[in-house]
Amino acid sequence: MKNGEFQFLVNGTHIYYSVVGSGTPLLIAPVTWGVDGHRWTSLDTLAEHFTLIRLDPRGTGGSGAVADKNEYGIPTLVEDIEALRIHLNIEQWNVMGQSAGGWTALEYALTYQSTIGHLIIVCSAPTGKFHKNTFRDPLHPLFPQFEKISQDVRSLPAAERVKAFNRAVYQFDVQSDESKRTIDHIFAAAAFNAQRNQFFVMNELNRYNVTDRLREIDLPTLVIGGKHDAHVAPEWSEVIAENIPNAQLVMMQHSGHFPWLDEPGLFFDSIRYFIKQ
C-alpha cells in the first residue's frame, strides 16, 4: 500500500488519513473528544511490522469541518472509518483503539464485524459511566489534584481550557519522568476542538454503552490494561475481556493509561504476537 498523507471525500467532507509501513493493515481508531488521530507518534513502532493507518476525525487535524454538530459523534466516525476501508480497497484489516478510541473500535466492530481480522482494545471501557476508581472519583487519592486543576483552568477560553486541563491530568497516567515529558510535549503541541470536546462530554458520555453487546463480538480480541491507570480503571479491561468470548487479557503491571510509553517492549510484542500468531 502506498505510504504517505492523503485526503478523500466522504459526503462532501474531506477526511485526512495517513499510511506508513508494510504488512497486514492495522487501523488506529481515533478518539472523538477533540484531538486528531495522529498525535501518538510513538505508535509508529507498529509500522515496523504492519501497515499503520490513521485518520483525523472531522473538525480535527487535516480533516474538514462538520456540517452538523451530531457529526462529532462516534457513529459518524464509524461510518468515516468504513468509508476509508472501502476507499483503500482493503477487504479485512486489524483494528486497535485506546481509551475513547476503544469506544470507536468497539462500535465499529459491532457495526462492521466482518471487516476485522483482529481487534485490540487498550485501557478502555464499554460505557461512558466509567469514573469510579479514577481521579474523578472523590475517593481516589488523585481527586484533590483533579479538583485543583479544574479550578486553575476554569477562567481560560474554551480551547485553551481543554488543552491545559488535558495536558495536566494526563501526567497522572505515566510512570516515568521520560514518559511524563513525552506526554507533556504531545499535549503542549496538540490542537483541540472545543466544540467536539463539549459534544463528547455532553452527549457521548451519556450515549455510549456497549456492555450488554460485548458478547456479540466474535473476533480474535486482545485486551490490554494498565494496572496503574488513573483515567480508566483497570477493572474495565477485565470486564471487556470477560464478556467478549475467548478474548485474551494482558494486564500490564507497571503501566498507566499509556502502556506503550511505560512498557513499550511488552506492549508492542503483545500486539505483534497476537496478530501474527
60-70 confidence digits (pLDDT tens): 999 999 999 99
* pTM (two decimals): 0.96
- In the Cβ-directed half-sphere of 200, how many Cα atoms lie within 13 Å? 19
Q: All 3 cell numbers of residue 27?
A: 487501523
- The greatest distance separating any two alpha carbons of the chain, rounded to the nearest whole angstrom, comes to 52
Report the share of the chain in percent with pLDDT over 90: 90
173 has pLDDT over 90: no
Let me know if 1 is exposed, middle or buried by CB neighbors in 10 A (0-12, 13-18, 19+). Answer: middle
CB-count burial class (<10 Å; 0-12, 13-18, 19+) for 117: middle
Task: State the pLDDT at residue 176.
Answer: 87
| pLDDT for 190 | 87
Give me the domains of the chain, ranges plus CATH numbers: 4-130+194-276 (3.40.50.1820)
% of residues, the chain, pLDDT over 70? 100
**Separation CA 80–CA 7 (nearest Å):** 12
DSSP for 68-120 reads SGGGGSHHHHHHHHHHHHHHTT-S-EEEEEETHHHHHHHHHHHHSGGGEEEEE
Give the Å distances, CA to CA, from 4 to 20, 33, 54, 182, 254.
7, 25, 11, 24, 34
Q: Specify the pLDDT at position 92.
A: 97
For the four alpha carbons of 159, 58, 112 and 44, in that order, the dihedral sign comes to: negative
Band (3; pLDDT cuts 50, 70, 90):
very high
- Grid-cell match 459526503, residue found: 11
Q: Answer positive or negative: Cα dihedral of 127, 90, 36, 171.
A: positive
At residue 42, the pLDDT reads 86
- What pLDDT band is residue 277 in, cutting at 50, 70 and 90? confident
From CA 233, how far away is CA 256, in angstroms rounded?
9
User: Do 197 and 191 meet the contact criterion of CB atoms below 8 Å apart?
Assistant: no
Cα separation, 13 vs 169, whole angstroms? 33
State the pLDDT confidence band at 159, using cuts at 50, 70 and 90. confident
SS3 readout for 125-194: CCECCCCCCCCCCCCCCCHHHHHHHHHHHCCCCHHHHHHHHHHHHHHHHCCCHHHHHHHHHHHHHCCCCH
